[in-house]
């Protein structure tokens, strides 16, 4: 089956710890995106990558880091510098030149 996978579905961490969220796609999409969603709010762009080994900051990149070593994978690290990391994290991807983005199932991160 083709699609976007995010793991784990739920993640719990203690304050001060870095945590890495996984995003993998087998759709042969070129671009990948990370969004954050807080309760009752829309999606805010954290980072995006149009091609391998290149990525750009979105609107709320502070406290986050990414890598894009493979076309299929775009992991997001939430660092201890992120002040309010508890949120629903969504990964999306799309083909180059297309406009439509498609989402993975998301990871719900809780930091206490």
Instruction: Please list, residue by residue across 30-43, b when 16 or more beta carbons sit within 10 angstroms of its beta carbon and e when fewer do.
Output: bbbbbbbeeeeeeb
Nearest to 88 by CA among 33, 31, 41: 41
Q: 2 or 16, CB closer to another protein?
A: 2
Does 40 engage in binding with another protein (CB under 8 A)?
yes
Q: 81 or 105, CB closer to another protein?
A: 105
Site residues for another protein, 62-91, by CB under 8 A, read 90
Rounded to a whole number of angstroms, the minimum distance from the CB of residue 2 to another protein is 15
Does 33 engage in binding with another protein (CB under 8 A)?
yes
Rounded to a whole number of angstroms, the minimum distance from the CB of residue 64 to another protein is 16
Pairing of strands 4-7, 10-13: unpaired
Taking each continuous run of H as one helix and of E as one strand, the counts in the chain are 0, 11
Does 42 engage in binding with another protein (CB under 8 A)?
yes
């Amino acid at each position: 089956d083709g699609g976007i996978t995010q793991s784990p579905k739920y993640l719990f961490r203690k304050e001060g710890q870095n945590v890495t969220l996984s995003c993998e796609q087998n759709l042969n999409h070129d671009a990948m995106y990370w969004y954050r969603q807080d309760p009752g709010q829309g999606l805010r762009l954290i980072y995006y990558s149009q091609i391998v080994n290149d990525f750009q900051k979105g609107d709320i990149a502070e406290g986050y880091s990414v890598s894009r070593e493979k076309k299929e994978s775009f992991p997001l690290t939430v660092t201890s510098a992120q002040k309010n990391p508890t949120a629903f994290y969504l990964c999306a991807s799309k083909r180059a030149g297309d406009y439509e983005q498609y989402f993975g199932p998301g990871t719900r991160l809780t930091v206490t």
